[in-house]
Amino acid sequence: MKQARENIIYKLCNKKGAFLLISAFLFSLLFLFPPGSVQSSRPYTSSTHGFSLYRTLWSNVPSKILRTGKYLVEWSNPLFCGPKIRIYRVSDRKDVIWETSRGEAFFSLGTGSAKIFESRGSYRIHDYLKRRFCHQSVDELSEEDGAVIINGSFLDSLPPLRYRVVFKGKDDGGVDFDFQAHSGSCEEGRINRAFMIYKTSADERFFGFGAQYSYLDMKGKRVPVLVQEQGIGRGLQPLTFLMNLFAGSGGDAFSTYAAVPFYLTNHLRSMFLKNPEYSVFDLTDPTRVTVSLFSRRIRGRILAGSSPLEIIEKFTRYSGRMAELPEWVGEGAIVCVQGGSTRVRETVRRLRENGVPVSAVWIHDWCGRRRTIAGSQLWWNWEPDPDLYPDFPQLVKEIRAQGIRVLTYLNPFLVDVSEKPSYRRNLFLEAKEKGYLVRKKDGEPYLIPNTDFSAGMVDLSNKKAREWVKEIIKCEFLDAGVSGWMADYAEALPFDCLLEGGNNPARFHNRYPEEWAKLNREAIREAGLEGEVIFFTRSGFTKSPGFSTLFWLGDQLVNWDEHDGIKSALTGLLSSGISGFSLNHSDIGGYTTIGLSWLPGFGYTRSKELLLRWIEMNAFTAVFRTHEGNMPELNCQWDRDAETIRQFARFAKIYETLHFYRRELLKEASSSGYPLVRPLFLHYPGDPEAWGIKEEFMLGSEFLIAPCLQPGADEVRLYLPAGRWVHLWSGKVFGNTQAGEWLRVPSPIGEPPVFYRYGSQVGEKTVEDLRVIGVLNRVSRD
């Protein structure tokens, strides 16, 4: 949480904390935490007791083939070899989309108890598996109503625990599965864990799982699917150790705001869960996938396709697809500004003077700021602050008259503003009186500690609370002429809270960000402004793309790190795009700043070089938006000096020039679910090298970008897939038509390696348009 981060950072930066800080640093060195390690923070641990890890499958049902839709389910049970299941298309029996290991159980049930620890939106889950039923018997296979039904039991339960599996082919592609204990089984009431086990191979690689920041390929990893804070450091040492020591919020390589139980593989196979409960995909075994779930039932779908893009298209039919962004979003930069009406007007004037194309100014502190032990924080009371912005509606109108939109800020928390110097409404007290806040077991509001204040969280399972929040959005945001806002947070629903109507918070936790986005979208639609107003969210789950108008990647460190810096932003962009989040972007320059530059390994402030490189990268993404960071005075900003202003203006113009092409890609995203920013393998699935590239990306199918992600570098080693590629800045032609190749390309500031396909009309039009506005000065192509 942004404000919680400020509190943590304050504690680390003040003089009273210096002794503790240095002591912790020395202590961490004793344990030899190496930079880049991600093993020091493991919030997802599991203990298993009282069961056998040996899983068996037994049956006397003879081999048979059954049909469901366009797929065949083959049950193979030869004598002495053990049974197995294979699912493949009717049209191609060699194209196996799912199979089990011979003689091994493919579903399992169990009982367990979990201890869940939460700190500032970060979670640690210790699961104690008390019993697992893993000796599976298949007693009957049949076809019924177009589905394949498997009935059986677990022999290590007395009396045997009965189960039922349903496989059903879908007309739009894929096979649904539904596995659960039989109603009325003797053990059913105690079952709260379910497992799915199936076959993979050592060379199969796994991609997706939402916004994953450290790794693109998850083979060999154990991937938890839980919406939460991404953490500060996420394995970067010794910072992660310190964050865990002081606040329990260091995170790890798999902590993410937007987790999705979906993957696709280089074998063009895919699977996703329909369950909202906490799950773990264990990919550490080279030949076996194990999916575990905090539920007695597993529901999902198996997918396959002739290409990765086809799989994404099939998945997004279920998850929902993102609508096209309004035209104005692509017309220039979205610039963050804070400090009151006067500073906003001055910033707009400077942007126009320097020729920066601007689509909107984002007034982050529109609701007012308060002094806390962390310094300055926002008042989470969603109305214009009468001191900072006494003329807010007029300010919006004035800026809009210049062709620039105004964006603001919102989150699902509320604070008591009784001590605020001036306000019109105390939304916290209103919500408390109406019973609209998440509650504790005693029925009182569940207050989430922040710095020296606490905040209540709106209960989105309460229909009346939702309507109340939507009215606030309509009155305070939309009636004021605001064209969008950051819809922050939504990751921190407590597992031990009370919700309206007895809703289970363990099931609602991952769904909360979906409902938060849905509420925002409904408010816009009900106001008749859909297609004109945007909001951008960082949290998300499976169906979030169908509700959110735009995503952003959250709070990266202002550094070059692969786990929590600029490199992680690119990895998150690629993985989330695979997972259905087709319109996503990051804060230019990152967000999280730690002002301890005097202590090696602890200080992180935004350098000028980092800002310039991040500007270059984001000009080729969906949205070009700045953020000042949590310590603006310590960070290099777009207007620091003449060079940064020139760079920012130049790449804002490049971003604006690509607007015509992004419109085509937005249509693809809306109709097919394709991401704007794509890993190379989406267009080159037959090239094994392309599946291992995570520091390059494609904008649609026509541009390939290899951003410079190393400090002090003046060239980039990159991979060009087979074909001829034109270097945007020089016009030189690179590449081999017969095979992909690695090469080193110069990358001076202002000219990151950008290529377009030889003969591309989009590429040639971009070159001509950049020439016309004076951004590109090359004469001809070599």
> Active-site residue numbers?
488, 491, 555
Give the angle 757-566-253 at the CA atoms, nearest 5°. 115
Task: Report the amino acid identity of residue 402.
Answer: Q
Q: Return the structure tokens found at 705.
A: 């970008």
Q: How many CB atoms lie within 10 A of CB 748?
A: 10
Burial of 634 (0-12, 13-18, 19+ CB in 10 A): middle
DSSP code string of 414-461: E---TTSSS-S--HHHHHHHHT-B-B-TTSSB-PEE-SSSEEEEB-TT
> What's the burial of 307, exposed, middle or buried (CB within 10 Å: 0-12/13-18/19+)?
middle
State the amino acid at position 282 in one-letter form: D
Nearest CA among 515, 379, 524 for reference residue 458: 515
Residue 2 near residue 556, CB atoms below 8 Å: no
Alpha carbon distance 209, 218 (integer Å): 9
3-state DSSP of 598-658: CCCCCCECCCHHHHHHHHHHHCCCCCCEECCCCCHHHCCCCCCCHHHHHHHHHHHHHHHHC
Which of these, 297, 323, 404, 305, lies nearest to 357 by C-alpha position? 404
Q: Which residue has the tokens 């779930």?
A: 293
Task: Tell the residue number behind the tokens 């700190």, with chain if given.
Answer: 119
> What is the per-residue DSSP string for 224-291?
EE-B----SSTT-TTHHHHHHHHHS----TT-BSBEEEEEEETTSEEEEE---S-EEEE--STTEEEE
Q: Are 472 and 502 in contact (CB under 8 A)?
A: no
